[in-house]
Chain A
Amino acid sequence: MNETGPRRQKWELTGEALEKFLAALDPDSHRAGEKYETIREALISFFDWQGGLSPEDLCDETLNRVVRKIDEGEVVRNIPAYCRAVARLVLLEDRKWTTARRADVEELAALPAPAPVENCDERSEWLKNCLRELPLESRQLVLQYYKEDKQQNIDARAALAARLGVPLNALRSRIQRLRDRLEHCVRRAMQRKLLAKK
């Protein structure tokens, strides 16, 4: 572990090493690229759920270590599982590093604190504006989907899917995409406000 924490190991990623890694993922270069991206997504989510300080950096560090091992001749039969195991180690190191520098981390974490629940009028206004940016049908769909049905919310959603003539899973996926879009829109508004303050 060096000065910048567990994220950096002194090893240089080479083109040859990366080619080896991709070839080990899949002999077809196109599919190898897709598998690489899937592992990357999984790593970022893993570090996010496990509370890693910077999921993207931890993901890069993990991939570097795996590529290095394969380059050094290690035979890895299941690369996604191997990546997961290495990610666990990187996470442990990250936790140790974070604990050792708790004061700095707390200072950093305190910077963009989320709006307190009691004063969320502004956030709510942003959300309303973001909803207005959606097409009418999508807007109504999101509001209907999330409207609380105190009896049986799941049945209400199944009924909504039936009314639209789509399977519940398809409705769920669509709602997820719309929710991502809204969340992104609200974050953008927050970011604009932060920039304006500066």
Chain B
Amino acid sequence: MGTETNSQAGLMRRYLLGLLPEPEQVALEERFFEDGGILNEMRAVERDLVDAYVRGQLAPDEKSVFESHYLSVHRHAERVAFARDLLRLADAEPDLTPQTGSTESREPFWRKWLSLFQTPQFAMSGALAMIAILVVSGLLLFRERARWRQELAKSQAEQAALKEKLSALEQEIAKGRADAAQFAAELERLRQQSARPTEPASPATIFSFLLLTTTRDQVEQQTLRLAPNATQVRLQIKIRAGEYKSYRVRIDPVDGGGAWESASVTARSAGITTTLSVLVPARNLPRGDYNLELSGIDANGAAESIENYSFRVSRP
């Protein structure tokens, strides 16, 4: 454990193992409460620590502390199980990719073909072969045309069947969407219920909403019903994890007017989901229809539009 003791990563590592004396622990916590960059660094150190444990690279005393402190939390044990699978797979060099071309065939195939025609012996026999090929091709073409007519009739029948299947699938998607909306509403209800277990209908001031992707099949628009005392609205968006460094959220009223934008939003994974969360002052969301544009910011700072969400804000 000794060599890293004084470095930042070493401090973080000892923090995660519960080995830092209280003053240093407090100092480090104050830093990551203040600075999101330090927090990300801590998360990276946590992963490295987990990987080192899985690889058997921890010193005996460190390993023992890791097991008694870090691994005593169930969530952490799950992280270790995942790391074990990932590292084992990386070491095994699995064949997960399609085979790429061998190094021998770097010369383009057409050039190899061309080189055949460049031999003098090939000139005469090549011409005769060409005539034969033309005759045979004509015959084949004629036969192929007849076969095509049959295929066409068959494919028209198949297309009709496919259309039926597609329509059934679209219905399933619509149903799935309705279920998701119901689930989101239920989640929101439970969240509000758990926040106030003993108080019936007490006034809340931060309203949380889970935004769902706007789809072609969507008939009813999502409506955020804000209470008169709402001061902040937390909009949560489920995304695919790990796509971008950060995200930009821009909300435009459909009927024009000032847009609201949050230029640097980070995603957070919790449980099985990854969520973006932005806090919007409720005064920026008067009654009306809105379009929310979600853009991903890559490592170079370039923004790429990912998804659009439309929603309506209603107020009593």
Does A pair with B?
Answer: yes
List the interface of chain A (C-beta within 8 A of B): 2, 4, 8, 10, 12-19, 22, 29-30, 33-34, 36-46, 48-49, 51, 56-57, 60, 80-81, 83-84, 109, 112-115, 117, 120, 123-124, 127-128, 131-132, 136, 139-140, 142-148, 166, 170, 172-174, 176-188, 190-191
Chain A residues within 8 Å of B202, by CB? 12
Q: Is the interface of B mostly helix, strand, loop or mixed?
A: mixed
Q: Is the CB of B203 within 8 A of A140?
A: no
**A181-B241 in contact (CB<8A):** yes
Does B78 belong to the interface (CB within 8 Å)?
A: yes
Q: Is the CB of B91 within 8 A of A46?
A: no
> CA–CA, A40 to B96, complex, Å?
38
A137 to chain B, nearest CB (A): 10
Tell whether, in the assembled complex, residue A109 and residue B29 are in contact, meaning their CB atoms are under 8 Å apart.
no
Say whether B272 contacts A187, CB under 8 Å: yes
- Known contacts: A8-B197, A34-B262, A117-B81. The answer to whether A179 contacts B229 by CB under 8 A is no
Q: Contacts A33-B262, A186-B82 hold; do A180 and B242 have CB atoms under 8 A apart?
A: yes
**Cβ distance B42 to chain A, nearest Cβ, rounded Å:** 7
Give A90 to B205 CA distance when docked, in angstroms: 22
Q: CA–CA, A196 to B261, complex, Å?
A: 40
Chain B minimum-CB-distance residue to A150: B55
Residue contact A80 to B55, C-beta cutoff 8 Å: no
Q: Which residues of B contact A2 (CB under 8 A)?
A: 198
User: B46, B78, B79, B242 — which one has the most chain A CB atoms within 10 A of its CB?
Assistant: B242
Chain A residues with CB under 8 Å of B270's CB are: 44, 56
Which of chain A's residues have a CB closer than 8 A to the CB of B197? 4, 8
B128 beta carbon closer than 8 Å to chain A: no
Interface size on B, residues (CB 8 A): 79
In the assembled complex, B189 has its CB within 8 A of some CB on chain A: no
Chain B residues near A115 (CB, 8 Å)?
81
A184–B74 Cα distance when bound, in Å, is 17
Which residues of B approach A to under 8 Å, CB–CB?
Answer: 15-16, 26, 29-30, 32-36, 39-40, 42-44, 46-47, 51, 55, 72-75, 77-79, 81-82, 84-91, 93-94, 96-98, 194-195, 197-199, 202-206, 229-232, 240-245, 261-262, 264-266, 268-274, 277-281, 299
Q: Is the CB of B241 within 8 A of A128?
A: no
From the candidates A14, A37, A45, name the one contacting B42 in the complex (CB within 8 A): A45
Contact A179 B278 (CB under 8 A): no
Secondary structure at the A interface, as helix, strand, loop or mixed, is: helix
Question: Does the CB pair A123–B81 fall under 8 Å?
Answer: yes
Q: Which of A113, A184, A186 lies at the interface centre, i.e. has the most chain B CB atoms within 10 A of its CB?
A: A184
Decide: B206 and A18 in contact? CB cutoff 8 A.
yes
Assuming A13-B205, A18-B206, A83-B33, is B90 touching A142 (CB within 8 A)? yes
| B82-A128 in contact (CB<8A) | no
A37 touches B231 (CB 8 A): no
Residues of chain A within 8 A (CB-CB) of B75 are 48
Q: Known A29-B281, A45-B43; judge A184-B269 contact (CB<8 A).
A: yes
Contact B89 A143 (CB under 8 A): yes
Q: Measured between alpha carbons, how far is A55 from B230 in the docked complex, in Å?
A: 25
5 residue pairs, one from A and one from B, having the closest CB atoms:
A181-B242, A15-B231, A177-B242, A146-B90, A15-B205
A30–B249 Cα distance when bound, in Å, is 12
Q: State the CA gap A81–B266 with chains docked (Å).
A: 21
Chain B residues whose CB sits within 8 angstroms of the CB of A80 once the complex forms: 30, 33-34
Q: Is the CB of B86 within 8 A of A114?
A: no
Are B32 and A42 within 8 A (Cβ)? Answer: yes
